Amino acid sequence: MKLPKDFNKGKVQLPKNLSYLSDELRIIEWHGYPFKSMPTSFQPNKLFELRMHCSCIKHLWKGIMNLDELRIIDLSDSQNLIEMSDLSGAPKLKQLILRRCIKLSKIHESLGNLKWLIQLDLNGCKCLESLPPKINLESLEIFILSGCSRLKKFPEVMGNMSSLSKLDLKETAIEDLRLSMNSDKLRIIDLSDSQNLIEMSDLSGAPKLNQLILQRCIRLSKIHASLGNLKWLIRLDLNGCKCLESLPPKINLESLEIFILSGCSRLKKFPEVVGNMSSLSELYLNETAIKDLPLSMEHLTGLIKLDLRDCKNLSSLPNVCCYLLSLKILTLSGCSKINELPENLENIKGLEELDMSETAITELPSSFILLKNLKVLSLHGCEGLSISSNKLISLPVMQKRRVDPTGMLGNSLSNLWSLTKLNLSYCNLQAIPDGLGCLSSLTNLDLRGNNFVCLPESTTQLSNMKTLLLCGCTHLQSLPELPLNIRGIDADGCTSLEILPLRFEDGPYPFLCLLNCVKLIKNEDYGDMLLTKLRHHFQFKGDEPIYRIIIPGREIPKWFSHQSVGTSVNLQVPSEKFKGIAVCALFVLRQHRPLLQLHSSYEGGYRLSHWLHCYLIANGDERKLILGGYPFSDQFGKIESYHLYLGYYPYKLFTEELRENWSQIDANGIGQIEIRFETYGPGLEVTKCGAHWVYEQDIEDLNQTMRGCNNNSCSITPYEDDLEDSAKETKIE
């Protein structure tokens, strides 16, 4: 008997009590069974499978029911189930699934003797406080108790449970796991988030264990020495075990591939590596109290990734790291005591990513130029790079004194031909070396928060560069001609920037952000130039169809044929084929709050506090098409003027469903499209908006503009210092 899931949704009138079910039934599958128990007369001695998800049942039966043929019981999400009945009459039961039976508090002790049982799943039974004190489940393969948050004790194992392969005890209240059994087949033990677990006991009874996951067991302080000899162990995860002070003194985990000790903030010493551990590819020691690494780590010949982030007690990069010849990713960010790198760093010839953000590093070793395979280098927040010192050999161009701009930093970097991402943000740099132009593979350059006045002319040689970040470079006055293929320029807060080279024949610059570039707007041609740049994008056929500009301004350009006060503007569905739609919003920040009062989220490594989104809504349809938007960093609170958001979204990005909807609307001679802007974050307000369907005719207008058309319909009115009183509130402190 199988009933559909919607059987109980008013289609069939059921009695208040069920008095009869056929004893001949072999399968019962009744989703949402509405009764508290099975009929008292029901004796289903031929029943093979019982599935009643989301039932109202409190108990199945009283006493012992003769169920020799029963193989499966699944009562998942039966939230009224209080107890599991006597199962001794179902000796051949193979699956007992009681997931999320949140009121289940008692299980009959007969469960412990089901020798045919293969799967026992009690996930999410958060009222269950105990199991039968002894279990002898010799066929059991999968045992799931995750989310049984009141379960404090694991039962004593009697006899042989050698078939068990997975033991899931996540989010339980178990204090001590003692596996009084031998199980050659046990592969996974997961005790994640078991916050009462104090000790991990002897694991020698599970010699072929593959995964031991103990992440966020915040009271775990002791692990049995047998852990160090689990030669089949592949993954060991102790992330967030902040009370763990030590590991077994020696480890010989020859199959281990991933070892995670992140956040073990009391762990001061890494164990000695005994024997061959060449399978280990990832080692996470970030946020530990480790002071040094043992020389025996040189046996980790297959190590690819080493994470030492925020190891505040590390005073130098352990020399042994330079003997890890397979290493590709080395993270040292936040190791605030590290002030130099070893000369023999060149040994790691395959190194591809090196993150030294917020370290005390003052110079790069001369051997740095030999890291030919380095692709990603971050020196974010290394303010010591700008300190004038005789020891500053490798970075002379970053000193405040006048130096040769092709000095050692330029030499060090110019040989890194594979480098694709370079982060020199917030390093207090006074100048950028001209040798930067030799980084032919560079795609992302992050120079935020520095004090240089200009970029070297060699920047134009970076032919592969896609993204240039200059936010907060308050001394920057001008930019050189930029590479043609660049996709995005973010110059938020470049308050001294006066010259922005944008040639019409260049690439499209699909993203350009100029928040608070207050001096730039005094350039009379800048408004016309940027709007014409947007219109130039209409005929671009490259890979990046979306175009976004954010600039100071106080009026919607007249070129936008549909304009409105407020956050939305309505347009009629175009009757002829169009290329896309251009949108514009005038926005301002009405409130200025201290950073600590802003709710921020992290995305892509940035801290964000405000969002501006643009939606397209067809004919009042509740489904919105997100045209695009922009996330603002937490520094957005310092904005001091009205700004414009301009965007272009081509027809090919619109969904097929939306296109069909438009066709139907056109046939009826009606149809409205709404462009709506929505904001997230305190004080961000859109005051006006506009939109414009883009046709082929706009390309012809563009050609006229490029031949020298200069009329008011193409202009962007720059911001003048006449903010309304409501916008002149106290600025961020």
Identify whether the C-beta of residue 395 lies closer than 8 Å to the C-beta of residue 385: yes
Of 36-50, 454-468, 539-553, 604-618, least confident by mean pLDDT is: 539-553
Structure tokens at 646: 């301009």
CA-closest candidate to residue 491, choices 459, 460, 522, 518: 518
**Is the pLDDT reported for residue 606 higher than 90?**
no
Token code pair at residue 426? 């917030």
The reported pLDDT for the residue numbered 193 is 96
How high is the pLDDT of residue 195?
A: 93
| Cβ-contact 610, 675 below 8 angstroms | no
Residue 82 has a pLDDT of 94
The pLDDT of residue 720 is 40
Classified as helix, coil or strand, 103 is: coil
For residue 189, the model assigns a pLDDT of 95
**What does the alpha-carbon distance between residue 650 and residue 658 come to, in Å, rounded to a whole number?**
14
β-strand 95-97 against 188-190: which pairing, if any?
A: unpaired
Q: Choose the weakest-confidence range: 142-146, 264-268, 315-319.
A: 315-319
Helix (H/G/I), strand (E/B), else coil: 109: helix
Longest dimension (CA), the chain: 98
Contact between 356 and 314 (Cβ < 8 Å):
no
Non-local CB neighbours of 155 within 8 Å, separated by 6+ positions: 112, 131, 132, 133, 134, 135
Q: What percent of the chain stands above pLDDT 70?
A: 77
Question: pLDDT band at 680, cuts 50/70/90?
Answer: confident
**What is the H or E stretch that residue 413 is in?**
helix 408-414
Using 50, 70 and 90 to split pLDDT, how confident is the model at 101? Answer: very high
Q: Which amino acid is at 332?
A: L
d(CA 256, CA 235): 6
623: buried, middle or exposed (CB in 10 Å: 19+, 13-18, 0-12)?
Answer: exposed
Q: 551 - beta bridge partners?
A: 644
Kindly tell me if the per-residue pLDDT of 303 is higher than 90.
Answer: yes
Mean of pLDDT values over 621-625:
65
Sign of the dihedral defined by the CA atoms of residues 78, 80, 81, 82, in that order? positive
Look up residue 454 and give its DSSP letter: B
CB burial string 271-287: b at 16+ within 10 A, e below = bbbbeebebbbbbbbbb
| Weakest-pLDDT range from 620-624, 630-634, 722-726 | 722-726
More confident residue, 83 or 177: 83
Of residues 40 and 501, which shows the higher confidence score? 40
pLDDT at 718 > cutoff 90: no
DSSP character for 234? -
Is residue 102 over pLDDT 90?
yes
pLDDT score of 108 = 93
Query: Which of 92-101, 453-462, 491-500 holds the top average pLDDT?
Result: 92-101
Indicate the range of 252-256, 283-287, 446-450, 530-534 predicted with least confidence: 530-534
Evaluate whether 92 touches 115 at the Cβ level (below 8 Å): no
**Measured distance CA(642)–CA(371) in Å, rounded:** 47
Is residue 636 predicted with pLDDT exceeding 90? no
Instruction: Place 699 in a pLDDT band, splitting at 50, 70 and 90.
Output: low
Average pLDDT over residues 694-713: 58
Q: Tell me the average pLDDT across 79-91.
A: 93
Helices 696-706 and 526-537, axial angle in degrees (round to 10): 140
Interstrand relation of 625-633 and 606-618 (parallel, antiparallel or unpaired): antiparallel
> Over 90: is that where the pLDDT of 615 sits?
no
- Higher local confidence (pLDDT), 70 or 656: 70
Residue range 50-75: average pLDDT? 91
Span 230-247, pLDDT tens digits: 999 999 999 999 999 999
3-state DSSP helix/strand/coil % of the chain, to nearest 5:
15, 25, 60
DSSP per-residue string spanning 61-91: -SS----TT--EEE-TT-TT--EE---TT-T
Least confident range of 61-75, 207-221, 432-446, 507-521: 507-521
The rounded percent of the chain whose pLDDT value lies above 90 is 45
Res 541: pLDDT: 56
Q: How far is CA 421 from the centre of its chain?
A: 19
Q: How far, in Å, CA of 525 to CA of 718, rounded?
A: 10
Contact 18, 42 (CB under 8 A): no
pLDDT bucket at 507, cuts 50 / 70 / 90: low
Closest CA to 416 of 392, 448, 445: 445
User: Which has more confidence, 698 or 337?
Assistant: 337
- Mean pLDDT lowest for which of 22-31, 432-441, 511-520, 631-640? 631-640
Is it the case that residue 38 has pLDDT exceeding 50? yes
Residues in the chain: 733
Cβ(517)–Cβ(490) below 8 Å:
no
Cα separation, 560 vs 644, in Å, equals: 13
Has residue 96 got a pLDDT over 90?
Answer: yes
| Highest-pLDDT range among 77-86, 515-524, 634-643 | 77-86
Inter-residue contact 82 to 58 (CB < 8 Å): yes
Range with lowest mean pLDDT among 256-265, 455-464, 490-499, 634-643: 634-643
Position 614 pLDDT exceeds 50: yes
Q: How far is residue 383's CA from residue 132's CA, in Å, rounded to a whole number? A: 62
Regarding predicted confidence, which is higher, 473 or 546? Answer: 473
Asked if pLDDT for residue 203 goes beyond 70, the answer is yes
Lowest mean pLDDT among 68-77, 430-439, 617-626: 617-626
